[in-house]
Amino acid sequence: MSLKNVLTQDSIVLHLKGSTKETIIDELLAAASKSGKIKDLASARKSVLERERRMSTGMKHGIAIPHGKTDAVDSLVACIGVSDLGVDFEALDQLDCRIFILTLSPADKTGPHLQFLAEVSLLFRSEEKRNVILAARTAAEVIAVLTDTDS
């Protein structure tokens, strides 16, 4: 699983406007739907919000990974958003989140989803990479940081 195969400049959203979990998820879903790979946006939204209700996807270091398994997609769909302000996502470290990685995967496929999350989580262990993403001015800068395998 390569981030280069999943992420495009259209799947990166800088300066998210939302101030709640739901509004952030809606913005990310709108961006992800530009891929044309989401067959039913309402169903995709329902799967992400149901997952979020079961357990928050707020992680640590200002990162949240809202995700869902749904029949609304045939293959992994991902989107990354960055907020200028922190949003309460009930993170494990109780800090507000500013970097959001939304993923949707088919209900019957686990492998690609888990591979993507593992790759992303490794990247975000780096405080330096998180800071570069937070300071990015273009989607291309975010993709360059995420797909740079030299660091």
Domains of the chain and any CATH numbers: 3-146 (3.40.930.10)
Strand 97-105 versus strand 67-69 pairing type: parallel
Rounded CA separation 93/70 (Å): 28
The pTM is what? 0.91
53 has pLDDT over 90: yes
Question: 22-45, pLDDT tens digit by residue?
Answer: 999 999 999 999 889 999 999 999
Per-residue pLDDT, 43 = 96
Per-residue pLDDT band at 107 (split at 50, 70, 90): confident
Question: 76-103, pLDDT tens digit by residue?
Answer: 999 999 999 999 999 999 999 999 999 9
Per-residue pLDDT, 150 = 55
User: Which residues does residue 146 pair with via DSSP β-bridges, in sequence order?
Assistant: none
- Where helices occur in the chain by DSSP H, the ranges are 3-6, 21-32, 41-54, 111-123, 127-135, 139-147
